[in-house]
Amino acid sequence: MKLYEHEAKKIFRDIGIPTPLGEVVTSVEEAKRAYARLAQRSVVVKAQVLVGGRGKAGGIKFASNVEEVESAAKTLLGSEIKGERVGAVLIEPKLDISRELYLGVTWDRSERSPVVIASSEGGVNIEGVAKTKPDAIKRVHVDPEIGFKPFMGRLLASSIGLTGRVLQSFADIASKMYSLFDGFDAELVESNPLALTSQGEIVAADARLNIVDDALFRHKEFSNNSDERLAEYSVLERKARQLGVQYVELDGSIGIIGNGAGLTMATLDLIKYYGGEPANFLDAGGGSSEEEFMQALSILNENPNVRLVFVNILAGITRCDDVARAIVKARISLGMSKPFVIRLAGTNEEEGRRILAASGINVYSDMDEAAKKAVEAASKV
């Protein structure tokens, strides 16, 4: 779950990371009053949306008087930034920035550990820096059992050219960011840019905090405005979340259902390997019942981009006969006319094959063979 910038900044401030003190408003009149209270000549008006790259998309405006604040608020409120409607803007003092840095904490899955990332070149083009100047991106991997130690922050700050008091400030912020990452069960904590002001202070000009969905039961303070927080998801992704199904839409035409995240990811990889394009990731779960599998099929049936459904089941707790009955019922009750390619292996496999064969549906035992067939069949639909 992604937090809005103003929510993340409050958490940053609570732990001692410097941020600009601003106000969140939802109307033009509120924006004008907030500007008067801030008593600042130059301010930034920032759309509060749950997508990245809003600066390039026109979601950040600068203003130096009440008329410009009014104009910025009118332009942003109610507009769309990358498909997400702007319901609120954050107004805060404009920083006198002499240098933009980057600092973030995330997971490095290849190393199976958290990683703290820093760069001497932050801002809107950080992705370009990572591609064109990879040496400008510095990393420190952290053993979760040991944690992020002060010397790690100092080494990281030194590696991007910081010295003296600025080095120590940066190292302190890095330690606090790691504490947030650990304490909030985050998948990402970052500030881009982390601004070095002309006064020699480091301030989080932007703040991002994304919490792992599976840990939200420990963070019930973020359960309010749940509908707003789902704005980044498609209609079907929202429906899947309500049903407890792990579903992510992609750009292809081959709908994929697996049982277990690892198997489903491997299925996507195989489809890509043989030249196909997955339409989605859908993990029906390692112990899906017949009814739960029906719900998963209903989601794919509503996706107009899906031309063919590839079902890949390695049954353990999940039973092949339950999956087979769900498929047969879906074709009737949901009017599901999309063609299927099915691979079944495991618990009650023979019974599952018998049920599907009675409905004229062929079943594969080999995952590789089934993936090839799915790509081939999808190209003819």
Q: Which of 121, 190, 292, 349 is catalytic?
A: 190
CB 153 within 8 A of CB 143: no
Contacts of 142 (CB under 8 A, 6+ apart): 113, 114, 115, 116, 148, 152, 178
- Distance of alpha carbon 181 from alpha carbon 185, whole angstroms: 6
- Distance of alpha carbon 168 from alpha carbon 362, whole angstroms: 65
185: DSSP letter:
T
CB 97 within 8 A of CB 196: yes
Q: Which of 35, 102, 178, 247 is catalytic?
A: 102
Contacts of 73 (CB under 8 A, 6+ apart): 25, 27, 28, 31, 32, 45, 89
CB 140 within 8 A of CB 155: yes
In the residue annotation, 102 being an active-site residue is answered as: yes
Amino acid, single-letter form, for residue 214: D
Which residue, chain included where needed, has tokens 């958490």? 11
Structure tokens at 376: 């081939």
Structure tokens at 181: 């990452």
Question: 78, exposed or middle or buried, with CB in 10 Å at 0-12, 13-18, 19+?
Answer: exposed
The count of C-alpha atoms lying within 13 angstroms of the C-alpha of 274, restricted to the half-sphere facing its C-beta, is 20
Task: List residues with catalytic annotation.
Answer: 102, 190
